Amino acid sequence: MLNLREIVKANDIRGLVGSQLDDRVVRALGTAFARRELASGAERLVIGHDMRDSSPRLSEAFALGARSEGLPVVHMGLCSTDALYYASGALAAPGAMFTASHNPAAWNGMKLCRSGARPVGLDSGLAEVRDLAQALLDDPAWPVDGDGAPPAAEERRDLLPGYAGHLRSLVDLSGIRPLRVVVDAGNGMAGMTTPAVLGSAAGLALPPVEVIPLYFELDGTFPNHEANPLDPKNLLDLQAAVPQYGADLGLAFDGDADRCFVVDERGEAVNPSAVSALVATREIAKELAAGRQPTVIHNLITSRAVPEVIREAGGTAVRTRVGHAFIKAEMAAADAVFGAEHSAHYYFRDFWYADTGMLAALHVLAALGEQSEPLSVLLSVHQRYAASGEINFRVPDVAQALELVAAAFAADPGVVQERLDGLTVADGPVDGDGAWWFNVRPSNTEPMLRLNVEAGDRPTMEALRDRVRGVLAGIAG
C-alpha cells in the first residue's frame, strides 16, 4: 500500500506513474481536495494538464473524485501551470494542474491551489488533503460507485485567449523596437503558450517581436533534451541558436512553462537574480508612479544584488524561505507587487500573487526594447557578485550534514548562522553587506542537499565553495 508521504512534497505532489501515481491514488486525492474546498465554499474546480502521456488520464481520475463529491469541474485540457493559475483567479475557483514540471517523462504530479490561485502546501492544506486521501486508499472497499447521487457536472473550456490577453494587458510591447527572440520550449507547454501570447490569440496587435521556435512540438517524452533549463546542458541548443540567428535574446521554459530562463545576445546564460532585479525595478517604478510604497519579496538564495537593487529603486525588500507556497503567502501578507526566486520563478501581485515565467519574459522584452543597448549591457548593472550556481549532494542524514557544516564554521570570527531554510552562513548579517554568504538546505522534491555560494569575487567564492564541499564530500552518497 502506497504511503502518500512518499509523493506529497512541501509544495506539490510528484511520483512515478504506475508505481506511485495511478487512477485510484489520483481519484482519492481529487475526492479529498474536493471535500476540503467544498467545506470552504467552492462552487467549481478548474483542472488543467501538461503534455505528458499520462496527464489526460490522471486529470480525468482526479475530476471523477471531485465530481463524486458534488463539485463541478471545468476542464482546461492542455495548458501551462501559469495558465491554470490564471483560470483559478479569473474564475474564482480552486485549481489542480497535472504536471511534473521539469522531471523526466516517467514522472507526473499535481500542483493544487485555492480560489484566486492561493497556494496549497503542507502548511496550508496539503497535509490535510494527503491524510484524508490516505484514509480512503487504506479502505479496501473504496471507491463504491453507483450508490450515491450522480457525479456533478463537468464542462470543457478554452481559456488560452483569456490568459494571453491578461498577460499582454500587463506589459505594453507596442512601442518597443523590433526584437528577434529564440524560444526553446523543450517540447513543453511553452510551445503552445508562446504563440498565443506573442501572436494574435490575445486579440491584440502583433508586437514587433520575431519568434524563432525551438522544440515547440508538444511531446512528453522530451526527445531533444529534458525541459529543465536549470541544468546547464539543457541550455546548450538555445545558447548556440541565439548568435546563429543574430537574435537579441533567448528564452527557455521548463516543461509546464511556469519558469523562464534568459540567454543574452552573446549566447551567455543570464543569472535569474539579474532578471529578478530588472523586473523588480519595473514593478517598483509602476508602484511609485501610482503613489504607493512597493514591497518586493525575494527568497534567501537570490543574489544580494536583488535586495540592493530593490532598495536603490525605492522599494522595500523582504527575504523569505525557498518554495512557491511560502513566497506566495509572504506576498499576500505584505501585498507585495513582485516576488522572485533564484530558480526563475517570478510572482506578480497583478497575477493573483502567482508565478508566471511568461509575464517575466514580457518584462524582459519590454525593458530591452525600450532602449538601444544589448541585453548583456542592460543587465550588467544587476550582476554584481560571483556565484557558484546550485550544487547538489546526496547525503545519508540531512540533519547530521547540516550540523557538520555549522560546526565547521562555528569558530570563524564575525560569522553569522541562520536556520530560516536549511543553514545560511555569512560573514555578517545574512541580509547585510558582507563579503560572502552560503546556504545549504534540503531539497523540497529530492533526497539531497543543495548548496549555493556567493561572494564579492570569484577566488573568494571558489575557496568558500570548496571548503563547504570538502565538509559534505566526506559523508555524501
What domains appear along the chain, each with residue ranges and CATH number? 4-158 (3.40.120.10), 161-263 (3.40.120.10), 272-380 (3.40.120.10), 386-473 (3.30.310.50)
- At residue 227's C-alpha, the angle toward residues 222 and 233, to 5°, is 105
Instruction: Name the residue with higher pLDDT: 433 or 19.
Output: 19
| Residue reference for cell 560572502 | 436
pLDDT tens sequence across 429-439: 888 777 899 99
pLDDT reading at 477 higher than 60: no
What's 269's DSSP letter? B
The percentage of residues in the chain with a pLDDT greater than 90, rounded to a whole number, is 86
- The CA distance from 387 to 457, in Å, is 9
Supply the pLDDT for residue 328. Answer: 87
Mean pLDDT of 191-196: 96
Grid cell of 274 as nine digits: 539579474
Supply the pLDDT for residue 200. Answer: 67
pLDDT tens sequence across 385-417: 999 999 999 988 888 999 999 999 999 999 999
pLDDT tens sequence across 65-75: 999 999 999 99
Work out whether the CA dihedral 12, 14, 19, 24 comes out positive or negative: positive
pLDDT reading at 134 higher than 80: yes
Closest of 270, 28, 5, 13 to residue 141, by C-alpha: 28
For the chain, how many residues are written?
477
The Cα-based distances of 285 to 169, 296, 413 in angstroms read: 17, 12, 40
The model's confidence at residue 202, banded by pLDDT at 50, 70 and 90, is low
Mean pLDDT of 60-64: 98
Closest of 257, 121, 238 to residue 184, by C-alpha: 238
| Residue reference for cell 557558484 | 388
Work out whether the CA dihedral 317, 320, 326, 329 comes out positive or negative: negative
Q: Which residue among the candidates 80, 101, 273, 276 is catalytic per the annotation?
A: 101
Average pLDDT, the chain: 94
Closest of 399, 449, 389, 441 to residue 420, by C-alpha: 441
Q: 101 catalytic, yes or no?
A: yes
pLDDT reading at 147 higher than 70: no
pLDDT reading at 451 higher than 80: yes
Supply the pLDDT for residue 269. Answer: 97
- The CA distance from 222 to 191, in Å, is 12
310-343 CB burial, b ≥16 within 10 A, e <16: beebebebbbbbbbbbbbbbbbbebebbbbbbbb
Range of lowest pLDDT (314-318, 376-380, 429-433, 452-456): 429-433
Closest of 303, 238, 311, 248 to residue 276, by C-alpha: 303
The model's confidence at residue 2, banded by pLDDT at 50, 70 and 90, is very high
Q: Which helix (H) or strand (E) holds 400?
A: helix 398-409
- The CA distance from 375 to 367, in Å, is 9
pLDDT tens sequence across 247-287: 999 999 999 999 999 999 999 999 999 999 999 999 999 99
8 with 130: CB under 8 angstroms?
Answer: yes
Give the three-class secondary structure for 67.
helix
The model's confidence at residue 203, banded by pLDDT at 50, 70 and 90, is low
Residue partners of 314: CB distance under 8 A and separation at least 6:
284, 288, 294
Q: Which helix (H) or strand (E) holds 63?
A: helix 55-68
Mean pLDDT of 166-185: 96
- The CA distance from 66 to 73, in Å, is 8
